[in-house]
Amino acid sequence: MNLKHVSITDDKVVVIYEQETDNGSADVTFRCSDPPSKKFREAFESCGPAMSEALGLGDYVAGEEVTKIAIKEGDEKTEFVVTAKHPIEDSNRPLNISTPLLDDEAFPELGECVKSVMRCARAYVSGDRAQLLLFGKEAA
């Protein structure tokens, strides 16, 4: 499964991935209203501070919420764009912040956070979701 996009908004998960077919490959969009597991949400949250560091913003945008990661998986490296929303005082809309296209070699800390999200997304698409906790099983 070659991931292309992972997002969490309003406790809904969207994963877009490339799937091999008889005629080549096709993009599949997986949408689910099951809330993300705690581990999945924590993986997204861990990208916020790493994103600020990669952009050289430090504490300037502390408190941003990562909402989307666009991914381009390659043989040698993984490239990604991370998008977050940052609350603005006295405003009814957040500021959206996106990184430029980065890779896991140049930005290993953020790359590791993105890979953690990717692992959770793959497990989520495979059926490993938060509701499994009801049956005493560990969710991704």
Whole-model pTM?
0.84
Say what percent of the chain tops pLDDT 70: 87
Q: What is the pLDDT of residue 134?
A: 43
Q: What is the pLDDT of residue 60?
A: 66
Residue 139 has pLDDT above 90, yes or no: no
> pLDDT band at 131, cuts 50/70/90?
low
Residue 140 lies inside a defined structural domain of this protein: no
Residue 52 lies inside a defined structural domain of this protein: yes
Among 53, 43, 62, which Cα is nearest to 107's?
53
Strands 24-32 and 65-73: unpaired
Residue type, 110: L
Q: What is the pLDDT of residue 129?
A: 62
Structural domain for 37, as ranges: 2-135
Residue 23 lies inside a defined structural domain of this protein: yes
The rounded mean pLDDT for the chain is 85
Residue 39 lies inside a defined structural domain of this protein: yes
Residue type, 72: K
3-state secondary structure 79-132: EEEEEEEECCCCCCCCEEEECCCEECCCCHHHHHHHHHHHHHHHHHHCCCCHHH
What pLDDT digit, counting tens, does each position of 70-100 carry?
A: 999 988 899 999 999 888 888 888 888 899 9
How many structural domains comprise the chain? 1
Residue 18 lies inside a defined structural domain of this protein: yes
Residue 103 has pLDDT above 80, yes or no: yes
Residue 111 lies inside a defined structural domain of this protein: yes
Q: What is the pLDDT of residue 58?
A: 73
CB 120 within 8 A of CB 140: yes
Residue 123 lies inside a defined structural domain of this protein: yes
